[in-house]
Every structure is written in structure tokens, then in C-alpha cells.
């Protein structure tokens, strides 16, 4: 009898479990607010109101902002549902100042432990205008104790910003986080400053002593800093100064750096020779992709379109430009440049570039292919393009000038020492 009882009890349990219905019904979700097509600006708060109900039990309801590829542009927020009214609300803050003007979606997700239901509501976000806040430039008196200066957005008043107690070869501004990074020719390390306070956030003393040339190039891209080191090494630092890429380059000396979302390109010179190479790394994994021998000493690598760039440099002391397709690892010469040496180049609007040349300042349009001397007889050692004002910021000796895209002089500041580097601080 006892065995029979146990057998029947087990059969009863198994039948009960097997007869339980699986939850195949997703929660029901409705977005009440915001209304379809509502318009917001960066730093606004999106008030989200929803109703959500399930025939069994709601485990969680959440809301977040996503772009048209459903990539989140902010943090997820939990929506607490009132069981009596089946309603709830939350707030989503648009706090990324790099958010571009575009259509976005409020995504609400309800989960009952088994099934998930998602609802979308399209909104439009107006991005912050990218406005010039200040121009920073470094100057050298030749004593090895250089300075960084701040010029106001109106190009009227320059004030001493910081004296880093070293020489300064190049500065780079990160407008997203309000930072400035600098390197020197002979200084032993890098320094990263808070633009609001002028204080050092982090630094890295790569060398013990400053005996020979130490740094070749410095690039700030988004939140990362890249540097080319004379002693055959390239480095990448994050916002906190963490070293997350440290690559010895062997018999090659890194000279010029280019970075975008997909690639990290370094032009290098074969030590003891005059051969130059492009070395391409994957931007995310840092894996070596390929190399290519190029016939010029590259001074500037400038974005053209997609994964194509223009290489500006010199061959035998004369200016040259090459069109390099990074993905195909191939180059060609789109046009000849005037005889004479080239100092640097920057991208302006569209497919137009400003070229600092021994003869003066040129504007080069890639398509249609056209070259125009817009300022004759002045050699600019540094160039920067202001995407807010559509102007060229250029340094010639001790003078800092603001020029229109056709070379018209708009503003001038005369400094006491030679200007060694320029960069612009924007609102974003």
C-alpha cells in the first residue's frame, strides 16, 4: 500500500507540473508621454509616462533613449508601475553634449519573467551648436620654459593660461571633457590639464632625463590621446591617463599620426634611411592591419571621405599630395603641387583643404580639382580650421591670424614669442 501511495503521489505531481500552462503572452505596454514627434534640446529632460500590464506578473519596466540604430544615448531608467492604476513614469535626461540633431526614440521595455514587450515613441533632439569658446596656443622664447596662452572667442584678448615648466611642441584640446594635453620636444613626459581650472589631471613621465628629442606628434581623438615617441614607440592614453596601447616600433621612428573611428594610421621613417611607411592599426583592437611604403615625408594626414585620406608632405624638399585609400592600402597622386616645401595642411569644409606652403597659403579643392593661392608670401608654421566660424587660424612667426576661407585677413594678435602650436576649444 505504501509503495502504491508514493507512486500515485509522484504521478499526481508530474501531471500537475506538466499540465501547467506556459506563459506565452507578452505584457501590454502603451506610451502616453512624450507625444510622437516631440522636440527636445540637449540637456532637456524627457518625461516618460506609460501603462503596463501582464496577465501574470510584471517583473520589470524600463525606459531609455536610443538612436535610429537602437544604440542607447543615455542611461536606462526603471519605471515603477502602480499595481492599482497600471501606470508609471520616469525621467530621461539628454546629458551627452555631443548628441547630434536627429530623430531618436524613447524605448520602453516590459518583462514578465518569460516574455518581453517593447514599444517605441519617436522624438527629435536638437544638438548643441558647436561654438568656439577659446583658442589656445603655445609659444616659445627659446629658453626651454614655454607657455600656453588663451585667446578669447572674439580674437581680442590673449592671457597667460599655464606655464608647464618645460618646452611645448604641440597642444591638443578635448572639447568634450574640457581637457588640454601637451608634449615637448625634449620634455620627459606628457601633461593633461583641466581647461576649467588649469590644473594637471594626469601626467606620464616616459623618460628619466631630457637629453635628446623625445616626442614627434600628439593627437587627441574623442576621449583618447595618441602620441608618437622619438625613441620608436607609439602610445595611447585614455581620459584618466591609463596607458591602453604601448607599441614599440623597432627599426621605424613614428612621426605623424591619424585616427578615426576605424583606423589608427602612423607614418614612420626607417631609421638610418629616408624611406617612409604607413603603418595601419585597427582603432578598437589595436591589431596591426598592414603597412605601405610611401614616397614622401608626411607632415599631415587629413580625412577626405569614408576611409580615404590625403597625405600631405614633401619629396626631395618639394610639396606633394597623395590620395590614400586605407581599406585598399593603395595610394595615387591626385594632382601636382607647386615647387617648394610644404609645412602642413588642414581640412576645411567638404572636400576643401588649406595648405601651408613655402609660397604662402593655398586652398585646395579635391573635386573639382582646383588649387588657389589665397595668401601670398607668408609662411605659416601652424594651421587650424575653425568649424564654427569657417575660418583658418594660422601662426606665422609671432603672429596669430584669423583668415577667411578665401584668405581675407580678419583678425590678428601679435605675440612676443614664436607660436609653436594651436588648437580650438568648442562647446562640444
pLDDT of residue 14: 46
Which of 126, 151, 178 terminates a domain? The answer is: 126
Cell of 34: 512624450
Q: What is the CATH number of the domain that holds 74?
A: 2.60.40.10
pLDDT for residue 100 is more than 70: yes
Domain-embedded: residue 6? no
Give the Cβ contact number of residue 68 at 10 Å.
Answer: 10
ω into 180 cis (within 30 of 0): no
Q: What pTM value is reported for the model?
A: 0.81
Lowest model confidence (mean pLDDT) among 171-180, 210-219, 379-388? 210-219
Q: Do 398 and 284 sit in the same domain of this protein? A: yes
Which of 126, 158, 193 terminates a domain? The answer is: 126
Domain-embedded: residue 9? no
Which of 73, 103, 126 terminates a domain? The answer is: 126
Q: What is the pLDDT of residues 375-388, one digit of tens each?
A: 999 999 999 999 99
Q: Do 277 and 307 sit in the same domain of this protein? A: yes
Domain-embedded: residue 11? no
Q: Do 89 and 146 sit in the same domain of this protein? A: no
Q: Do 303 and 372 sit in the same domain of this protein? A: yes
pLDDT of residue 19: 47
Give the Cβ contact number of residue 376 at 10 Å.
Answer: 10
Counted domains in the chain:
2
Q: Do 149 and 112 sit in the same domain of this protein? A: no
pLDDT of residue 17: 44
What is the average pLDDT value for the chain, to the nearest integer? 92
Q: What is the pLDDT of residues 305-325, one digit of tens each?
A: 999 999 999 999 999 999 999
Q: Do 262 and 377 sit in the same domain of this protein? A: yes
pLDDT of residue 89: 96
Q: Do 119 and 139 sit in the same domain of this protein? A: no
In 3D space, the residue among 152, 76, 50, 60 whose CA is nearest the CA of residue 114 turns out to be 60
Domain-embedded: residue 145? yes
Lowest model confidence (mean pLDDT) among 15-29, 37-51, 283-297, 390-404? 15-29
pLDDT of residue 1: 42
Q: What's the average model confidence in pLDDT over 17-35? A: 79
Q: Do 272 and 251 sit in the same domain of this protein? A: yes
pLDDT for residue 331 is more than 90: yes
Q: What's the average model confidence in pLDDT over 47-70? A: 93
Q: Do 329 and 373 sit in the same domain of this protein? A: yes
Lowest model confidence (mean pLDDT) among 62-71, 141-150, 192-201, 218-227? 141-150
pLDDT for residue 143 is more than 70: yes
Q: Do 396 and 279 sit in the same domain of this protein? A: yes
Q: What is the CATH number of the domain that holds 299?
A: 2.130.10.10
Domain-embedded: residue 338? yes
pLDDT band of 2, cuts 50, 70, 90: very low
Q: Do 299 and 189 sit in the same domain of this protein? A: yes
pLDDT of residue 21: 60
Domain-embedded: residue 17? no
pLDDT of residue 3: 47
pLDDT for residue 213 is more than 50: yes
Q: Do 324 and 193 sit in the same domain of this protein? A: yes
Domain-embedded: residue 14? no
- Which residues constitute the domain of residue 151? 132-426
Q: What's the average model confidence in pLDDT over 187-209? A: 91
Q: What's the average model confidence in pLDDT over 159-171? A: 95
Domain-embedded: residue 12? no
Q: What's the average model confidence in pLDDT over 127-148? A: 92
Q: Percent of the chain having pLDDT more than 90? A: 83
Amino acid at each position: 500500500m505504501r509503495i502504491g501511495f508514493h507512486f500515485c503521489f509522484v504521478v499526481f505531481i508530474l501531471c500537475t507540473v506538466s499540465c501547467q500552462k506556459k506563459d506565452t503572452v507578452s505584457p501590454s505596454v502603451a506610451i502616453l508621454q512624450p507625444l510622437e514627434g516631440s522636440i527636445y534640446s540637449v540637456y532637456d529632460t524627457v518625461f516618460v509616462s506609460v501603462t503596463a500590464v501582464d496577465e501574470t506578473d510584471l517583473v520589470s519596466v524600463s525606459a531609455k533613449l536610443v538612436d535610429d540604430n537602437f544604440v542607447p544615448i543615455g542611461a536606462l531608467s526603471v519605471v515603477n508601475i502602480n499595481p492599482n492604476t497600471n501606470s508609471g513614469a520616469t525621467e530621461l535626461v539628454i546629458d551627452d553634449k555631443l548628441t547630434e540633431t536627429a530623430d531618436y526614440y524613447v524605448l520602453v521595455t516590459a518583462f514578465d519573467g518569460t516574455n518581453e514587450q517593447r514599444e517605441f515613441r519617436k522624438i527629435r533632439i536638437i544638438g548643441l551648436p558647436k561654438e568656439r569658446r577659446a583658442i589656445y596656443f603655445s609659444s616659445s622664447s627659446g629658453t626651454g620654459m614655454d607657455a600656453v596662452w588663451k585667446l578669447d572667442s572674439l580674437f581680442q584678448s590673449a592671457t597667460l593660461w599655464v606655464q608647464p615648466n618645460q618646452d611645448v611642441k604641440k597642444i591638443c584640446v578635448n572639447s568634450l571633457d574640457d581637457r588640454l594635453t601637451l608634449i615637448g620636444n625634449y620634455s620627459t613626459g606628457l601633461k593633461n590639464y583641466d581647461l576649467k581650472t588649469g590644473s594637471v589631471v594626469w601626467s606620464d613621465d616616459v623618460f628619466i632625463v631630457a637629453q635628446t628629442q623625445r616626442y614627434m606628434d600628439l593627437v587627441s581623438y574623442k576621449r583618447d590621446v595618441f602620441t608618437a615617441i622619438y625613441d620608436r614607440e607609439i602610445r595611447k592614453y585614455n581620459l584618466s591617463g591609463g596607458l591602453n596601447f604601448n607599441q614599440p616600433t623597432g627599426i621605424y621612428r613614428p612621426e605623424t599620426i591619424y585616427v578615426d573611428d576605424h583606423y589608427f594610421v602612423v607614418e614612420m621613417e626607417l631609421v638610418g634611411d629616408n624611406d617612409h611607411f604607413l603603418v595601419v592599426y585597427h582603432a578598437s583592437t589595436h591589431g596591426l592591419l598592414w603597412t605601405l611604403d610611401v614616397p614622401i615625408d608626411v607632415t599631415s594626414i587629413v580625412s577626405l571621405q569614408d576611409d580615404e585620406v590625403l597625405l600631405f608632405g614633401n619629396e626631395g624638399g618639394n610639396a606633394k599630395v597623395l590620395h590614400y585609400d586605407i581599406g585598399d592600402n593603395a595610394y595615387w597622386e591626385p594632382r601636382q603641387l607647386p615647387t617648394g616645401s610644404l609645412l602642413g595642411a588642414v581640412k576645411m569644409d567638404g572636400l576643401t583643404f588649406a595648405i601651408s606652403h613655402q609660397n604662402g597659403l593655398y586652398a585646395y579643392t579635391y573635386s573639382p580639382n582646383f588649387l588657389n593661392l589665397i595668401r601670398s608670401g607668408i609662411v605659416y608654421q601652424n594651421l587650424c580650421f575653425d568649424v564654427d566660424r569657417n575660418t583658418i587660424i594660422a601662426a606665422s612667426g609671432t603672429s596669430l591670424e584669423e583668415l577667411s576661407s578665401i584668405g581675407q585677413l580678419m583678425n590678428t594678435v601679435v605675440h612676443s614669442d614664436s607660436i609653436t602650436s594651436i588648437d580650438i576649444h568648442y562647446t562640444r
